[in-house]
Amino acid sequence: MSSGNGQQRAGGEEAAPPEQLALMREAVRKAKEPRAKPRTWRGAALARELPVARVLVDKGVLHLDRYFDYAVPEELDAVARPGVRVRVRFGAGGRNVREGRREGGGLIDGFLVERVAESDYSGPLAALAQVVSPEPVLSPELLGLARAVADRYAGSVADVLQLAVPPRHARAEAAEMGPPPAPPSAPDPKSWRRYGRGAEFLGSLASGGSPRAVWTALPGPQWAEEIALAVQATLASGRGALVVVPAGRPAARVDAALRGLIGDGQHALLTADAGQERRYREWLAVRRGAVRAVVGTRAAMFAPVRNLGLVVVWDDGDASHSDDNAPFPHVREVLELRASRDKCAFLLGGWGCTVEAAQLVESGWAAPLVADREQVRAAAPLVRTVGDGDLARDEAARAARLPTLAWEVVREGLRHGPVLVQVPRRGYVPRMACAQCRAPARCRHCAGPLAAQDAGELRCCWCGREETSWHCPECGGFRLRAQVVGARRTAEELGRAFPAVPVRTSGREQVLDTVPSTSALVVSTPGAEPVAEGGYAAALLLDGWAMLSRPDLRAGEDALRRWIGAGALVRPQSAGGTVVVVAEPTLRPVQALVRWDPVGHAVRELAERAELGFPPVSRMAAVSGKAEAVAEFLRGAELPPDAEVLGPVPVPVGEAGRPRRAGGPPPGERWERALVRVRPGSGAALASALKTALAARTARGGSGGSGGSDAVRIRIDPPDIG
DNA sequence: AGCACGCCGACT
DNA sequence: GTCGGCGTGCTC
């Protein structure tokens, strides 16, 4: 078998004299001899032991997702250890054969993966240009994890490492670090006793066990200390622990709780808002084993904790647990991988319960950690609803835009302390719902969401089929309405309704951390709610129907999660805490809130998704790009036999209000998106098929993952499948 | 993605 | 004869 290159060369040499031709053929054959001895083009001396370095080049492109061999010069022998960052010449410029070997190609970064005696590569090896630093940042464990994540998400290892290894900072690296402090003693389980087998769980951690649990936390501020106790128990067993929370504020709470329990110095805080130097210093402290525990936001999910004994994710339904860089790994999934690979304990906690969490319990992978109903009733606020019927009957509501019940609860609450008002954030996508019962309109073929198109016709956002005779399967209605959200004005009007009371707002721009226990109206968007000292006296959850009627698979789950998140900051019912939600009391998430039963909701939701073939019971991948590119890609890909392709359908350009996520179509281009769905168990096969097809495509002609006009993008577990 | 190599048409 | 377009294929 001769390479294409060789054929070409031979063709061009036909005019050359025979003896010269023979010489050239000889040269070609020589270059192809297997097990070529490593040599540099300067003939520099090589390391005597293991002179070949296997290098992972730091380029996200998929067809470069493998190792390249380089020769190790003698002078780099000592520092060229596995795991260090290196720079190498890489690119076509390196093989200018004619005028003797000349340096070419650009210098690019990479990681030295291992040192070996011989190379499989048949050509002459280039030499490592530089060892950037002797710090072995890429351990075999981290590389293994990065590879597993890359496989799970059909991405490249280099892309994952970009998320996993922070940029180097020389000054941070120079700092000396001491040995880790002595482990703390095993904790008293304290409030963990409120959960059925909570004390048992902590005991298992402390004695070196690796239990896995989905924990439904009771409302209130105790959760941070409960996580800290789990960390303490794990440290007591001589192992390390990793906690990932959705944002800086909850990270600060767990940090404070840990300080309170075991003091400073046992753990590092890894959050995005730290500067580069501090980030790298903290990360190094973890890698070097100077600290044994980590609390942080999503980038911390890869933290190289030594002898990992426990991983924790808090509030896994929060969107910020999903990384927004390729290949878009999710904290819960990555920590599941870590727990499996490292055989360590796993704790997924939240006030609510995601469908994915319910699935972990149902599959038997994790055990439920819940309090009994009596405990729940004692800790949760009283929840009351205001539905359409109430509103219609309510004269006062029409005038004041505030239902009588809501008004009364707020007024009464303000007599005892602060009152939280939750208003939805702007920017929910208006799609279609039943005008009568407000159930989202769904496609009768694949159950995707229906949306009105530019021309006015009704189409499925997944499979693209037109719907001409829709009627509501819930209530039999046949009229549709577009969903519109207008919110903030309500807050201003509220302020006018209670003129003597101070109004404070907390939102995306300015997030309040805490508010005092004095009477005030606290208006907040979901996720930005300040914690009130002693708890809120009441909470008012407005425009619930708008949250619920988004035609998103997770609309109900999301709404419930946000309500629960607000309600958990309210005093218990026994202390007068009351929540009013403006939403139909017949709807499932509303009922779940009233009963404070997030697990029941998630379990029912899971059963329904299994029936309809929705994630997470099936796995989905989105393929998007220009129409021809998507079609060609799908034609070329060898998808698993059970794969089902939905669509493609046009990607809406700049849908009203929805912020365009990174990875959308460039301005002015019309893109399409297809969804590929497989049965449970075929997820890995799907990811692998997509990765192979993408790599082949890029290597062939197309312009691969990022740039070019014929690019396609793959996203496993797309977040917005309508 | 870059980047060189090589074939094929235009021009001093 | 040589210069330079861009179509292919490789990168240790």
Q: What is the pLDDT of residue A132?
A: 95
Compute the average pLDDT of residues A576-580. Answer: 96
Nucleic chain C: which protein residues 38-67 of A have CB below 7 A from it? Answer: 63-64
Of A633 and A698, more confident? A633
Query: Of all nucleotides in the shown strands, which has a C1' nearest the CA of A707?
Result: B1
Q: What is the pLDDT of residue A559?
A: 93
Query: Of all nucleotides in the shown strands, which has a C1' nearest the CA of A704?
Result: B1
Sheet containing A128-131: give its strands across.
Answer: A67-71, A52-57, A106-116, A85-90, A128-131
Nearest residue for C7, CA–C1':
A701
pLDDT digits (tens, 9 = 90+) for A345-387: 999 999 999 999 999 999 999 999 999 999 999 999 999 998 7
- Reduced to 3 states (helix: H, G, I; strand: E, B; else coil), residue A263 is coil
Compute the average pLDDT of residues A401-428. Answer: 83
Tell whether A475 is in a known binding site. yes
Q: What is the pLDDT of residue A444?
A: 80
Residue A614 has pLDDT above 60, yes or no: yes
Q: What is the pLDDT of residue A315?
A: 98
- Reduced to 3 states (helix: H, G, I; strand: E, B; else coil), residue A589 is helix
Q: Determine the Cα–Cα distance for residues A629 and A623; give it in Å rounded to an integer.
A: 10
Residue A229 has pLDDT above 90, yes or no: yes
Query: Of all nucleotides in the shown strands, which has a C1' nearest the CA of A105?
Result: B3
Reported as a pLDDT band with limits 50, 70 and 90, residue A663 is low
- Reduced to 3 states (helix: H, G, I; strand: E, B; else coil), residue A46 is strand
DSSP-assigned letter for residue A49? S
Q: Determine the Cα–Cα distance for residues A513 and A522; give it in Å rounded to an integer.
A: 12
Q: What is the pLDDT of residue A546?
A: 64
Compute the average pLDDT of residues A132-146. Answer: 96
Residue A703 has pLDDT above 50, yes or no: no
Reported as a pLDDT band with limits 50, 70 and 90, residue A629 is confident
pLDDT digits (tens, 9 = 90+) for A151-206: 999 999 999 999 999 999 999 999 889 898 999 999 999 999 999 999 999 999 99
Asked if the Cβ of residue A307 lies within 7 A of any atom of strand B, the reply is no
A720-to-A297, A651, A663 alpha-carbon distances in Å: 22, 12, 13
Reported as a pLDDT band with limits 50, 70 and 90, residue A485 is very low
Reported as a pLDDT band with limits 50, 70 and 90, residue A150 is very high
CA A196 to chain centre: 30
Q: Which two tokens stand for residue A187?
A: 């904790």
Strand A267-270 to strand A293-296: parallel, antiparallel, or no bridges (unpaired)? Answer: parallel
Q: What is the pLDDT of residue A141?
A: 96
DSSP-assigned letter for residue A467? E
Query: pTM of the entire structure?
Result: 0.86
A384-to-A202, A420, A561, A704 alpha-carbon distances in Å: 36, 15, 17, 54
**Percent of chain A having pLDDT more than 90?**
58
Which amino acid, one-letter code, is at A638? E
Element (DSSP H or E) covering residue A703:
none
Residue A244 has pLDDT above 80, yes or no: yes
Q: What is the pLDDT of residue A618?
A: 94
Element (DSSP H or E) covering residue A52:
strand A52-57
Question: What is the spatial distance, in angstroms and rounded to an integer, between the CA atom of A95 and the C1' atom of B5?
Answer: 11
Tell whether A461 is in a known binding site. no
Compute the average pLDDT of residues A256-270. Answer: 96
Residue A656 has pLDDT above 90, yes or no: no
Element (DSSP H or E) covering residue A576:
none
Nucleic chain B: which protein residues 697-716 of A have CB below 7 A from it? Answer: 698-699, 702-704, 706-708, 711
- Chain B positions with an atom below 7 A of a protein C-beta are 1-7
Asked if the Cβ of residue A101 lies within 7 A of any atom of strand B, the reply is no
Q: Determine the Cα–Cα distance for residues A527 and A506; give it in Å rounded to an integer.
A: 10
Reported as a pLDDT band with limits 50, 70 and 90, residue A426 is low
Q: Half-sphere exposure of A298 toward its Cβ, with a 13 Å CA cutoff?
A: 22
Q: What is the pLDDT of residue A448?
A: 66
Compute the average pLDDT of residues A548-559. Answer: 83
Q: What is the pLDDT of residue A99?
A: 38
- Reduced to 3 states (helix: H, G, I; strand: E, B; else coil), residue A482 is strand
Q: What is the SS3 string spanning A239-257?
A: CEEEEECCCHHHHHHHHHH
Nearest Cα to Cα of residue A717 among A458, A354, A273: A354
From the CB of residue A49, how many other CB atoms can be counted at a distance below 10 Å? Answer: 9
Q: Tell me which residue has tokens 């501020």.
A: A221
Q: Which two tokens stand for residue A22?
A: 């023979």
A158-to-A7, A56, A119, A332 alpha-carbon distances in Å: 33, 8, 22, 21
Query: Of all nucleotides in the shown strands, which has a C1' nearest the CA of A127?
Result: C12
Q: Determine the Cα–Cα distance for residues A618 and A595; give it in Å rounded to an integer.
A: 29
Residue-averaged pLDDT of chain A: 84
Q: Give every CB contact of residue A26 below 8 A, 6+ residues apart in sequence.
A: none
Reported as a pLDDT band with limits 50, 70 and 90, residue A301 is very high
Q: Determine the Cα–Cα distance for residues A371 and A646; give it in Å rounded to an integer.
A: 41
Element (DSSP H or E) covering residue A590:
helix A588-594
Q: Which two tokens stand for residue A593?
A: 């809130």
